[in-house]
Chain A
C-alpha cells in the first residue's frame, strides 16, 4: 500500500517536473555491505542501506542501485545513525542574555551562524543533529533550536521544522552566580538556590495570570486587548505542554524541587540537562517520564559536581529513565561515540543501549524520534560510516550523510585542504592582502573566545561574535 502510494506520488511528480525527478534520483545514496548498528533493531551484518530523497527507503541485502545513485562500498565498515547532541551551543553568535534571570523572550534561532566551522567538525565526528540551547546564566533562559547540521546550506535549512519548541532552564551555581553587570554592578537577583526556584515560580504565576488575561479578553470579559508579552508566551506554552523544558541542574535536591514545581503547574520537565546527581533520584525521575541528558564523566570539576559518579548513566538506565549523553562543547561534540562507550565500561550498559544514548534517546527527548535517531525505513537518511566499531578509539568517521546528502567525506577532506592552501596562496599575492613593507602581518585578535571545556558558556555572553 505504502509502496504503491509512493509510486503514485512519484508519477505525479514526474508529470509535473521531469527535471525535478532527475535531480532527486541523483541524490540517492546506496551504502553496500556494511555492519549496520540500527540502534533499535540490533546489528545487521553485510547489509545495504538505500537513501532516496532524503529518507531511508530500503534496508536489506543485495539492494539494486537506482539509476544515478551514489554507491558507497562499506565492506568491513560500520554504519550508525547520525549522532544527536542534546546540549550544544555551537553555531550561536550569542549564548546568554544575562541581564535578567528570566529571558524566555530570547530565541537562539535569531543568532545561529551557518558558517561556523564547528558544524563541519561536528560532522567529522558523526554528529548530524543538535539541540542549540541558551546558556545557563538564567533561571529561565531562552528558547532552543533543534537543528540538522546541513553544512553548506542556507540558515533556514538548519532548524528542524517539526521539532517541538523548547526552552532552557537552569538551577544552581550558574544562575545564582551570574552578574552580568560586572564587578561593580548591583548584584542580580537571585543570589541563592532558594531565590532561583522562587524566580521560576514567580515567572509561572505571571504566565498563569497572562493566560487568564487573554482568556478574559477573548471571552469578552475585558475590553482592552492585553499586551503581547514575548517573555510570558513561551511559559504559557510550557504550562500547556506545548514547549519542552530542558533544565540545567547538578544537584538532586534542586532537580526534585524543579520537578515538584512542574507538578504544581501541571507540566513535565522534558530533560534534566547534566543531572550529575540524577542517580540519587532515579525512581522519581522515571515516574514522571522525564529524560536525563548527562556527561559521562566530569565528576568533581566544580563544587556542585562533587557527588557525580561514573555509574550515573547505568543507574538511570536500570531505572528505566531515557538517558542521553551530551557534549555542551564544540570540541567534545566530536567524540560522543567514545562518551557512549564509557557507559558500557562503567556499569555494563549493553552496547545497543549505549548507542541509543547518543542517537534515538536524545531524539526521543527532543521529540524528533519519528524522523531521526535510528536506522529504519522511513526515517531521515542521517547515517554515519565508521572505519571500525564506533566505540573503538581507533575508529574514525569516514562519511557523514544528512538527509541523504554526503556532507562529510574523509577522502575529499584531504583535497579540500590542498584547495584551501592554494586559494590562500593566491589571495595572499593580491595587492589588497599584501603585508606592508614595514614588517609581517598584524596579530589577529582571536574571534573564538570560548574554550574547549564544558560548561564554558556559563558566564556572560560566550558567543562568537
Chain B
C-alpha cells in the first residue's frame, strides 16, 4: 500500500531523481505553503538554490534552471526539528557495573580529574560521525534538523544542532556546542556520587569549583608573578560558559519532583536552564513560566506494552493517571505560556512523534502551537531561528512536503529537502520473515546465537527471569524478549565476531525505556550486560532444548 502511494506520488511529480542531488536549483510549485513565520500560502512556489530558500510566493515563476516539482494537492512545511536525540552518536559507553573495578574505558578514554559521568567537556561534536544514511529513517519521517547529545552519565556532555544530511560532520553541523546536558544519574561502580543525594552535592561542588577556577585563571592571566599557577582543569573549564549563562544547561527531568529539583538548581546558580523530557511539566507549568525555563517536551508518551502475567498486581494509580494525563500536558503548558519544543525522546517508533502530537492536538493543543513546537518555536529555543524553523527567503532550505493531514493517520511525506538537497523518499525496506539456519557458524563466519534461551537478568536484589528467542540471518538478529516487563520484539540486532548486541523496548516503572543487550555466545551459554537508563546489569542464560 505504502509503496503504491509512493509510486503514485512519483508519477504525479513526473520525475525520477537519484538521491541525493546537490548543487541544483529546485522549485516546488502549486503547493500549499505553511511558512509558519507568516501567512499560509494556498497555492504558491518555493524556490531553492544553493542550499538556501531563494524565494517564496503565490505567483512566482520557477527559474529556468530549476528542477520543478509539481506539488498540487501537497503541503510544504519547514523541515521538522527534533529537539533532543542521540542521532549520529555512537552507542554510549555503559556506566560501570556496581561493584566492578573501573573498566579500561573509564580509565583510558580521558585524563580528566573526574570519573566518567562527571565530564562536562565531552562533546557530541567529537563523537559524531559522518554519513547521511544514518539519518534516513528520521529524514523519511520529515525531520531535517535535530539536537543531538550523549545520554550517559550525570553530565551527558555538550550537545550539537545538526542537519540530517551531509557526508561529513563539518558539513551537517549547525551549531556546536549548544548546551550542557545533565541527568540526575549516578556514577556507579562504588565511585562518588553513588546516590541521588551525592549527585546534587557533586553538581553543586563542581559549579562552585568552576566559578573559583575561572576567577583564579583571570587573576593569573592579569598578573602571573607571585601567584601559584591555577589548574588547567578541562572538566571545570567546560562549565565556565554554564556558570556564566553563556551556555544553556538542559536537565533531563520527567517527574514533577525532578523538574522542581532542576528548577531549584537553576535558581541557586542563576543558570540558563532548560528541562528535557518534561512528562509531568504541566504540573509545574506556573513555576516554569515564572522562571522562564523552556521545555524540550517528550512526545514519547507512556504507553502500555504487551500484557503478560495473569496473576500480576494491578497497576498503580500513578501509572494509570500518567498515561491518561500526559497527552493533555502540552495544551496545559501552552495555556500557561510555557515555551516548549517537541522531542522524540528515543521513541520506539519515530512515527509516534506525529501520532502523539496529534493526540496532544486532540486534547486541546492548537494545531498552530503544535506545528511551531516542531519548527519555529524549536528553532527559537535552540537559538537558530535566524536560519531555521520557517519558510522565508535566506533561510536554510530545510523543507518537507506532505500529503494528507500532518497530525492525521493519512500523513505521508513525499519530499524532503535538507540543506537544499533533495532526498528521494525510499519505500521502507521489506521485512522478510527470517528462518533459523542450522547449527554452527553462519556463512559469514560469525558465531550462531539462534535459538531460545532462559536468561537471568541480575538486577541487584531483584533478579528477573526472561525468555529470549533469537533468529539469525548472517550478521542480523531478530527475535523477542519475554519477561515480566512484557513481550518486546528486539531490534538493531547485530552479530559480529566479537559478540552480539540488540535493543529491546520495555515498559518499566510507567515509562517506555530502551535496554541494550551486549554479549557473547559460548556453545549453549550466553552472557553479557544490559545497558538501561537505570544502569548496567549483567545477564546470563542457557539455551533451552
A interface residues, Cβ below 8 angstroms from B: 93-100, 103, 105-108, 110-111, 113-115, 134, 142, 154-155, 179-186, 188, 223-225, 227-230, 420, 423-424, 427-428, 430, 432-445, 447, 449, 461, 463, 465
B201 touches A230 (CB 8 A): yes
A225 touches B307 (CB 8 A): no
Of all chain A residues, which has the CB nearest B219?
A: A224
Q: For the complex, is B204 an interface residue (Cβ under 8 Å from A)?
A: yes
B99 touches A449 (CB 8 A): no
For the complex formed, measure the closest distance between the CB of B247 and the CB atoms of chain A, giving whole angstroms: 22
* 12 A-B pairs with C-beta separation under 8 A: A93-B257, A107-B201, A180-B190, A182-B98, A227-B208, A228-B212, A230-B208, A430-B320, A439-B310, A441-B309, A442-B307, A445-B462
Q: For the complex, is B306 an interface residue (Cβ under 8 Å from A)?
A: yes
B192 touches A99 (CB 8 A): yes
Q: For the complex, is B58 an interface residue (Cβ under 8 Å from A)?
A: no
Partner of B212, one of A93, A227, A461: A227
- Contacts of B260-298 to chain A: CB distance below 8 A: 260-261
Measured in the bound complex, the distance between the Cα atoms of B312 and A99 in whole Å is 36
Interface residues on B, range: 35 or more
**Contacts A107-B200, A225-B215, A427-B320 given: A440-B310 contact, CB under 8 Å?**
yes
A433 touches B323 (CB 8 A): yes
Q: For the complex, is B13 an interface residue (Cβ under 8 Å from A)?
A: no
Chain A residues near B193: list those with CB within 8 A.
97, 99
Q: For the complex, is B216 an interface residue (Cβ under 8 Å from A)?
A: yes
For the complex formed, measure the closest distance between the CB of B196 and the CB atoms of chain A, giving whole angstroms: 4
**Contacts A432-B303, A439-B307, A449-B461 given: A113-B313 contact, CB under 8 Å?**
no
- Output the residue of B195, B305, B321 with the most chain A CB within 10 A: B195
Ranked 6 nearest A-B pairs via Cβ: A182-B99, A181-B190, A94-B196, A440-B310, A443-B312, A436-B307
**Contacts A432-B303, A445-B508 given: A115-B309 contact, CB under 8 Å?**
no
Q: For the complex, is B108 an interface residue (Cβ under 8 Å from A)?
A: no
**Contacts A94-B196, A442-B312 given: A110-B261 contact, CB under 8 Å?**
yes
**Contacts A181-B189, A427-B324, A441-B312 given: A93-B196 contact, CB under 8 Å?**
yes
A115 touches B307 (CB 8 A): no
Q: For the complex, is B101 an interface residue (Cβ under 8 Å from A)?
A: yes
For the complex formed, measure the closest distance between the CB of A229 and the CB atoms of chain B, giving whole angstroms: 8
For the complex formed, measure the closest distance between the CB of A419 and the CB atoms of chain B, giving whole angstroms: 11
Measured in the bound complex, the distance between the Cα atoms of B324 and A441 in whole Å is 17
**Contacts A134-B197, A433-B323, A465-B196 given: A438-B508 contact, CB under 8 Å?**
no
* Beyond A181-B190, A188-B190, A433-B323, 12 additional pairs, beta carbon < 8 A: A97-B193, A103-B197, A155-B257, A180-B190, A229-B205, A420-B317, A430-B324, A433-B320, A436-B304, A442-B309, A444-B315, A461-B195
Q: For the complex, is B507 an interface residue (Cβ under 8 Å from A)?
A: yes
Of all chain A residues, which has the CB nearest B211?
A: A228
Measured in the bound complex, the distance between the Cα atoms of B319 and A424 in whole Å is 11
Partner of A427, one of B191, B261, B301, B317: B317
B198 touches A432 (CB 8 A): no
Chain A residues near B256: list those with CB within 8 A.
115
Chain A residues near B260: list those with CB within 8 A.
154-155
Q: For the complex, is B21 an interface residue (Cβ under 8 Å from A)?
A: no
**Contacts A98-B194, A106-B197 given: A115-B212 contact, CB under 8 Å?**
no
Q: For the complex, is B485 an interface residue (Cβ under 8 Å from A)?
A: yes
Chain B residues near A181: list those with CB within 8 A.
98-99, 189-190
For the complex formed, measure the closest distance between the CB of A161 and the CB atoms of chain B, giving whole angstroms: 15
For the complex formed, measure the closest distance between the CB of B208 and the CB atoms of chain A, giving whole angstroms: 5
Q: For the complex, is B100 an interface residue (Cβ under 8 Å from A)?
A: yes
Of all chain A residues, which has the CB nearest B305?
A: A442
B320 touches A440 (CB 8 A): no
Of all chain B residues, which has the CB nearest A105?
A: B201
B304 touches A432 (CB 8 A): yes
A442 touches B484 (CB 8 A): yes
**Contacts A99-B190, A443-B308 given: A94-B461 contact, CB under 8 Å?**
no
B197 touches A227 (CB 8 A): no
For the complex formed, measure the closest distance between the CB of B84 and the CB atoms of chain A, giving whole angstroms: 22
- Output the residue of B99, B216, B311 with the most chain A CB within 10 A: B99
Partner of A111, one of B192, B196, B301, B305: B196
Of all chain B residues, which has the CB nearest A223?
A: B227
The total of interchain contacts (Cβ-Cβ below 8 angstroms) comes to 190
Q: For the complex, is B509 an interface residue (Cβ under 8 Å from A)?
A: yes
Chain B residues near A225: list those with CB within 8 A.
212, 215-216
Measured in the bound complex, the distance between the Cα atoms of B228 and A228 in whole Å is 18
**Contacts A182-B190, A423-B317, A443-B312 given: A227-B196 contact, CB under 8 Å?**
no
Measured in the bound complex, the distance between the Cα atoms of B484 and A184 in whole Å is 29
Chain A residues near B191: list those with CB within 8 A.
99
- Contacts of B13-67 to chain A: CB distance below 8 A: none
B257 touches A115 (CB 8 A): yes
| Cβ contacts B454-476/A at 8 Å (1 or 0 each) | 00000001101000000000000
A111 touches B200 (CB 8 A): yes
Measured in the bound complex, the distance between the Cα atoms of B511 and A444 in whole Å is 12
For the complex formed, measure the closest distance between the CB of B307 and the CB atoms of chain A, giving whole angstroms: 4
Chain B residues near A183: list those with CB within 8 A.
99
Chain B residues near A445: list those with CB within 8 A.
462, 464, 484-485, 508-509
Measured in the bound complex, the distance between the Cα atoms of B336 and A237 in whole Å is 42
Q: For the complex, is B349 an interface residue (Cβ under 8 Å from A)?
A: no
Measured in the bound complex, the distance between the Cα atoms of B202 and A100 in whole Å is 13
Q: For the complex, is B241 an interface residue (Cβ under 8 Å from A)?
A: no
Measured in the bound complex, the distance between the Cα atoms of B302 and A449 in whole Å is 23
Chain B residues near A184: list those with CB within 8 A.
99-101
A97 touches B195 (CB 8 A): yes
Measured in the bound complex, the distance between the Cα atoms of B129 and A140 in whole Å is 46
Chain B residues near A97: list those with CB within 8 A.
192-195, 197-198, 201
Of all chain B residues, which has the CB nearest A225?
A: B212
For the complex formed, measure the closest distance between the CB of A221 and the CB atoms of chain B, giving whole angstroms: 15
Q: For the complex, is B109 an interface residue (Cβ under 8 Å from A)?
A: no
For the complex formed, measure the closest distance between the CB of B485 and the CB atoms of chain A, giving whole angstroms: 6
Measured in the bound complex, the distance between the Cα atoms of B216 and A465 in whole Å is 39
Of all chain A residues, which has the CB nearest B302?
A: A432
Chain B residues near A99: list those with CB within 8 A.
190-195, 198
A440 touches B312 (CB 8 A): yes
Measured in the bound complex, the distance between the Cα atoms of B535 and A182 in whole Å is 15
Q: For the complex, is B316 an interface residue (Cβ under 8 Å from A)?
A: yes
Measured in the bound complex, the distance between the Cα atoms of B484 and A442 in whole Å is 6
B315 touches A441 (CB 8 A): yes
For the complex formed, measure the closest distance between the CB of A203 and the CB atoms of chain B, giving whole angstroms: 15
Measured in the bound complex, the distance between the Cα atoms of B256 and A437 in whole Å is 32
For the complex formed, measure the closest distance between the CB of B319 and the CB atoms of chain A, giving whole angstroms: 8
B198 touches A434 (CB 8 A): no
Chain B residues near A134: list those with CB within 8 A.
197
A100 touches B509 (CB 8 A): no
